[in-house]
């Protein structure tokens, strides 16, 4: 009987004991993450945190791969796709007149263009501009159909927000299949979205037959663009270029599980970014892999410093760690929302997937409110890059000071993911729409015709992508419109050790162009250069190990992979990891975006004033060894002196160095 009573008591108490045990386990995990006591000291060693909070990927790469990395690549466009610019500026005066605005204001619009809109209240500006865009776009749509009809081709002509009209000739009967990566075989055709090589110098023949146009989509595209341009009815007519993130995709091993799709209850487009109390100064974060993030250290050769560091630690200690009132849009591959260092972060707001082509998107749908990274692999033999997750982690999407993984540049910030890069790159049309959405200039439109409005318009836009072409007119127009809204656009210079002027958006106006420096403080061997570059920031070098620790001098950030994963405690291989060393101007640009976010949170500045503050307070001017590189690792570079093994290339006004901004905090204007 007594035994039976104790059995009953045990049955009653078992659930309570189990709950207590779960609570204790949760308490332990919270202490590991720093959930309830963020000020607690960091773990004594990497071994004190779970494997998933410390395992990483990245090995020093062999030098014989450098040549292939820097080899020229063809300029690709989406076959049969053309972007046409509506004459919105010309339509503004007519719209103002139709709305009954004063005749002297209408005359001002005719002479000054959109600049004259500044005289109106903001709600009236939006009314005039939106109506002008709608009417000009419809006129452009009709005119484009007429031009194409006279050429003898047909296709889909659609209007996008912002005065952009897209033309798709594939419906005209021209077949793209014969040109889809023909040199790569049938497997590549099945695994890659269609693309064709583009040469700006190629011209449409004076005499071209209907049969030629139907058989050759490249010819049809070229002829259609030239006819549209010659009609002089549009602001521009240009191919739908395919942008590249500059990521060197390793061979695919066991494919990592796809990130979880956004579930009900996660951030939705109608929800604003979470608010928080005013941030305060931080210090050295307790993230276990922070010790490997040389790029955040103060610049120098002493203990705790790095010759290539950007001084973030100094700013965290002297000023503050950011504010979620500052919004940074990341136009990239999206963000892996299931990443353990991001899923627990409050820094990621609702974003958008701007990839209209489901084949390129890889997610079986078009434009929608799901900015989760659905993958961007290019061909069956490569793996997804999760490039946007790595970039966003450096800016601040990763939770910092939580005893998990890595630190972000801004501990508190609102990161808005805008997915514009998918399988084998991203299309210009989607990038242009992404810029306008990120800046709050135009909504996204899904397949059902519903609007997706950005509730968190960006203060800063980061674009770690390149197109080897002159700055497309559609892209420049979108950047200019964003700049007029006080949005700073930060872009990567490119990774081909070539002239930056050859690559968009780095050759566009109204952008901050970022080249890459390495852990030794020199110019990274792959970084593009030239007068277009504004400054250098840490981009890393996975082909070097300057401190001899057996790990590459890459930039360490958030990225899920199953390739080359290991435990830094014992060097044993692991099945999966969530952190990777990467290199590129793609990695340099987010350091500048994070620095701008910190300065904005500390000073309250935005727009051009914030940009001026960056160069006045956080750029280490030209000095000894600036933009120097080993001649042996640099193509066609000039030695700094006859016979010298050291070369230098023009690369901006100096290095990003937040230590300087930290020194001036006391005298900074609020």
Which pTM does this prediction carry?
Answer: 0.88
**Residue 390 shares a structural domain with residue 491:** yes
Among candidate residues 485, 377, 386, 508, the one with its CA nearest the CA of residue 438:
485
Cβ-based neighbours of 46, under 8 Å, separated by 6 or more: 54, 288, 289, 568, 569
Q: What is the DSSP code (8-state) at residue 619?
A: E
Final residue belonging to a domain, choices 212, 228, 243:
243
Among candidate residues 215, 246, 257, 335, the one with its CA nearest the CA of residue 524:
246
State pLDDT tens for residues 573-590.
999 999 999 999 999 999
In CATH, what number is assigned to the domain containing residue 458? 3.40.50.200
**Residue 514 shares a structural domain with residue 440:** yes
Question: Is 188 among the domain residues?
Answer: yes
pLDDT band at 263 (very low <50, low <70, confident <90, very high): very low
Catalytic residue among 295, 387, 390, 591: 387
Burial class (CB in 10 A: 0-12, 13-18, 19+), 550: exposed
**Residue 237 shares a structural domain with residue 315:** no
Final residue belonging to a domain, choices 222, 243, 264:
243
Question: Is 27 among the domain residues?
Answer: no
Question: Is 49 among the domain residues?
Answer: no
**Residue 149 shares a structural domain with residue 229:** yes
User: Coil, strand, or helix at residue 298?
Assistant: coil
Question: Is 403 among the domain residues?
Answer: yes
User: Cα(208)–Cα(547) distance, rounded to whole angstroms?
Assistant: 62
Question: Is 41 among the domain residues?
Answer: no
Residue 148: per-residue pLDDT: 96
State pLDDT tens for residues 31-87.
334 443 444 455 557 888 999 999 999 999 999 999 999 999 999 999 999 999 999
Catalytic residue among 244, 332, 368, 376: 332
Range of the domain at 216: 76-243
User: Is 586 annotated in the active site?
Assistant: yes
User: Cα(386)–Cα(333) distance, rounded to whole angstroms?
Assistant: 7
How many domains is the chain partitioned into structurally? 2
Q: Which tokens belong to 95?
A: 């719209």
Among candidate residues 395, 391, 397, the one with its CA nearest the CA of residue 338:
397
**Residue 361 shares a structural domain with residue 483:** yes
Question: Is 271 among the domain residues?
Answer: no
Element (H, E) at 132: helix 122-151
**Residue 198 shares a structural domain with residue 323:** no
**Residue 193 shares a structural domain with residue 287:** no
8 Å CB contact between 401 and 38:
yes
For residue 371, how many other CB atoms are within 10 A of its CB?
Answer: 28
Strand partners, 590: none
User: Is 332 annotated in the active site?
Assistant: yes
Residue 14: per-residue pLDDT: 40
pLDDT band at 645 (very low <50, low <70, confident <90, very high): very high
**Residue 235 shares a structural domain with residue 369:** no
Residue with more model confidence, 634 or 311: 311
User: Cα(289)–Cα(663) distance, rounded to whole angstroms?
Assistant: 27
**Residue 313 shares a structural domain with residue 409:** yes
Question: Is 60 among the domain residues?
Answer: no
State pLDDT tens for residues 420-431.
999 999 999 999
Question: Is 508 among the domain residues?
Answer: yes
**Residue 411 shares a structural domain with residue 506:** yes
Catalytic residue among 464, 517, 524, 586: 586
**Residue 236 shares a structural domain with residue 289:** no
User: Is 669 annotated in the active site?
Assistant: no
**Residue 298 shares a structural domain with residue 238:** no
Final residue belonging to a domain, choices 212, 243, 274:
243
């Amino acid at each position: 009987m007594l035994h039976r009573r104790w059995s009953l008591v045990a049955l009653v108490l078992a659930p309570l004991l189990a709950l207590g045990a779960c609570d204790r386990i949760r308490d332990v995990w919270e202490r590991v993450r720093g959930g309830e006591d963020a000020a607690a000291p960091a773990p004594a060693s990497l071994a004190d945190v779970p494997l998933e909070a410390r395992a990483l990927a990245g090995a020093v790469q062999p030098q014989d791969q450098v040549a292939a990395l820097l080899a020229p690549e063809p300029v690709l466009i989406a076959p049969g796709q053309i972007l046409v610019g509506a004459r919105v500026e010309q339509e503004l005066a007519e719209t103002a007149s139709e709305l009954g605005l004063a005749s002297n204001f209408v005359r001002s619009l005719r002479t000054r263009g959109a600049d004259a809109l500044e005289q109106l209240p903001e709600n009236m500006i939006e009314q005039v501009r939106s109506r002008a865009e709608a009417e000009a776009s419809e006129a452009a749509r009709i005119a484009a159909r007429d031009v194409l009809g006279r050429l003898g081709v047909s296709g889909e002509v659609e209007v996008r927000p912002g005065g952009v009209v897209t033309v798709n000739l594939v419906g005209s009967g021209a077949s793209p299949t014969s040109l889809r990566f023909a040199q790569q075989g049938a497997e590549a055709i099945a695994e890659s979205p269609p693309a064709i090589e583009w040469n700006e110098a190629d011209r449409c023949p004076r005499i071209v037959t209907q049969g030629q146009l139907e058989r050759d989509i490249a010819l049809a595209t070229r002829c259609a663009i030239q006819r549209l341009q010659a009609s002089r009815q549009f602001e521009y007519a240009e191919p739908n270029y395919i942008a590249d993130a500059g990521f060197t995709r390793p061979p695919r091993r066991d494919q990592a599980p796809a990130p979880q799709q956004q579930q009900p209850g996660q951030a939705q487009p109608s929800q604003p970014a979470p608010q928080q109390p005013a941030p305060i100064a931080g210090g050295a974060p307790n993230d276990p892999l922070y010790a490997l993030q040389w790029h955040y250290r103060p610049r120098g050769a002493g203990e705790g410093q790095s010759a290539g560091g950007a001084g973030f630690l100094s700013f965290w200690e002297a000023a503050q760690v950011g504010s979620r009132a500052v919004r940074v849009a990341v136009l990239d591959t999206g963000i892996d929302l299931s990443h353990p260092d991001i899923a627990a972060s409050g820094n990621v707001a609702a974003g958008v997937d701007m990839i209209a082509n489901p084949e390129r998107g890889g997610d079986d749908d078009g434009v929608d409110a799901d900015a989760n990274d659905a993958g961007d692999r290019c061909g069956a033999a490569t793996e997804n890059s999760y490039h946007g997750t790595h970039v966003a982690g450096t800016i601040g999407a990763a939770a910092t000071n939580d005893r998990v993984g890595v630190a972000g540049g801004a501990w508190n910030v609102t990161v808005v993911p805008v997915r514009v890069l998918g399988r084998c790159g991203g299309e210009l049309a989607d990038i242009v729409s992404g810029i306008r959405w990120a800046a709050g200039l135009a909504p996204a439109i899904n397949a059902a015709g519903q609007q997706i409005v950005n509730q968190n318009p960006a203060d800063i836009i980061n674009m770690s992508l390149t197109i080897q072409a002159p700055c497309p007119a559609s892209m420049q127009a979108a950047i200019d419109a964003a700049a007029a809204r006080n949005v700073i656009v930060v872009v990567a210079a490119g990774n081909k050790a070539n002239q930056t002027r050859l690559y968009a958006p780095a050759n566009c106006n109204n952008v901050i162009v970022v080249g890459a420096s390495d852990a030794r403080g020199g110019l990274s061997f792959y970084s593009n250069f030239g007068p277009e570059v504004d400054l250098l920031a840490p981009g890393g070098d996975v082909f070097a190990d300057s401190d001899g620790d057996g790990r590459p001098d890459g930039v360490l950030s958030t990225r899920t992979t199953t390739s080359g994963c290991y435990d830094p405690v014992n060097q044993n291989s692991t099945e999966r990891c969530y952190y990777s060393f990467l290199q590129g101007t793609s990695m340099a640009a987010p350091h500048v975006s994070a620095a701008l976010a910190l300065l904005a949170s500390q000073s309250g500045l935005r727009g051009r004033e914030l940009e001026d503050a960056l160069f006045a307070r956080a750029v280490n001017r030209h000095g000894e060894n600036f933009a120097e590189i080993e001649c042996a690792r640099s193509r066609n570079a000039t030695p700094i002196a006859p016979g010298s093994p050291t070369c230098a290339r023009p690369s901006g006004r100096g290095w990003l160095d937040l230590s300087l901004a930290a020194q001036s905090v006391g005298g900074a204007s609020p």
